[in-house]
Structure formats: C-alpha cells, structure tokens
Chains A and B, each alone.
Chain A
C-alpha cells in the first residue's frame, strides 16, 4: 500500500495531552475528537489538515496517557499516517489495534512542514517527492502486519474465534 501526503511537523515527546487534551475526553466520538486534534500544540491544526496528510515528529511520539482517543482523533482528522523516530508503547499498541498506520524512521529531521512524502507500507520506504531522496523506516514486525491486514485487533480476534 502506498500513500502520498503533505507533512505537518512536530517535535520530540509529543504527549497525548497535546494530541487530544483531557478536557475533551468526555466523549469518544471520532468527529468531535478530530476537531480538537493537536489543539494544544497547534490550535489551527484541525482546520488546516487535509485528508492523506502525514504527521512527522521526533522521538517518543504519543507519550503519556493510554487514551485511544489520541490515535482516533488523528485518524478521524484525516491523517494517513504518523512517522516518528520512536513511539510511546501504549500509543504504538493502540495505533495498530485500531488501524492507524505508523512508521518509525530515524530521519524525520529531514522532513519539514509542507514537504510531500510518498510512503510505501510494504517496503517501509519513504520518498521525499521534492528531493527524490529515499529514506528507510524500521520494518513492521510480522505480527503487527497481521494485525493491520486483519483491520485491527478486534477483527483479528473475530477471525481467530471463528
């Protein structure tokens, strides 16, 4: 699977309170959450982001709370994938479990807001469409690939139970 999208760049240690502040956790409605996605990092983000855009960040994206509202808000905002140097472990789990594509790549410093990237999820290759340079993301473990292919953990379980 391949996608092309515009980059929105964030820094290191983007926590779940920045992704979706706790004051909005009184709902789990994806569309409502999407309206406040990244609000405390960039209040205009939800208005600016367009479908298939890519969030790029430094190390330890999604640290903090276990709230699945964070990947839900990102996905519902139309973001096609998140590329970061590393992810916090619950965010990583949640993203795969609920079907948000995420990639770990050491070279995220090379990408800036407004850049266009083409991402190939099968090979893990990221191409900067401006410079035509190729970057490699860390391979996704086979079990996680199986989860993604099933459509998430619930679907995976339903398949197994049947």
Chain B
C-alpha cells in the first residue's frame, strides 16, 4: 500500500474518532434544522402569494439557497472540522514529525489529509442536502404544486459546484494547517472564502437556481484548488512543517 493510502486511511479513521469531528457533526446537524424550517416557511409563503408560474423563479431561488446553505454546512464546514482537529493534535504531539521521518513525501501526506477530511464530508453532505431538498419539496412545494420541483442547476450546484468548492477549501485548509503553528487558524481561510463567494455571487446578479451560479462555484472551487496545488509546490516542505509544529 502506498504511503498516501496508508495515511489517508489512518487519517480518515482518526478524523471520525476525533472529538472535534464529532462536534462538527453535531453543529451541522443542529444548523440544518433552523435552515430547513426557515426555508420551508419562506417557500410556503411564496407559494401562497401568487400563481405557480409567477412565483416559480422565486421558489427556485429559495430552494437553491436552501440547497446551497445545507451543502456548504455539510460538505465544507464539516470537512474542515473533521480535518483540522486531528492535524492540530498530530502536530502538537510530534506524530506529524514521526510520520514525515517515515518513508512518505510531504505532498503525499498533504493529499492524504485532504482526502481524509473531504471524503467523509462529501459522503455525508451530498445525501443530507438531497434529503433536505426532497423534504422541502414534500412538505412545501408538492402540497401546493402537485409535483416535485428540483431544477437541474440546483442539482449541479449541490452535486458538483459545492463539492468542487469543498475540495478546493479542504486542500487550502490542510495546506495552511500543515504550514502554520495552529492549524485551527486555517479554518479562518474557509470562513473568508465562503463569505466572499456567498457575497460576491449574488451581487453579480446570479440566481441560486441558475447554471451560472453552479458554474461560478465550480470555478471558485477550481481556482482555490489550483492555487493550493501551486502554493504547495513552492511552500510545502518537511522543514516548514516541522518548524511550524515546533512553535505549537
């Protein structure tokens, strides 16, 4: 088994066992509930206001926003929470140095960490998001319209846009986490990027249920990912990782 796979499997198990990961799951679970009820209320209000043909774009937008928020929480936030806690502990206790002294390249270690925090978030996040969209349909839209309403751009955002963004952010957070003294600080990068994206895209006039919004998320995620890969080539060295851990 290659060093990458060994560390990926190990980190995956460690992430799922780590307290911070469990806290992340709890926060996401608690965070989804108010989102669901708030958006259900909005949808019901919109549908009660006018004919379906009139409110259809607004309902699409509200549904798109719901899917976006839930998938951000599940795929991005959960991923970061899962990875950062383990990274901090491994650096503080010298386990990272021991791993790096074993036959493994620093880039393989980084990729393994990215996969270990992104994969479970994706596996949990996508079905949960689809479930919320289905539940909003069943409880708000179907009773008023008589059919399931799930535009393809929303599915594209949830199934591709946010996962690509999540992968990009997982790469960025783990890269920063490996290079700074306290990997928890790397979470701030996620907050900054997510706030920036969720503010810039609507200001550009992109509807949550539009193809443009799905593409914009994929592009942003791709950009963050590519930027992280390039930055890793220049900055990710064993020396930097070791010396950053020393300051913990």
Are A and B subunits of one complex? no
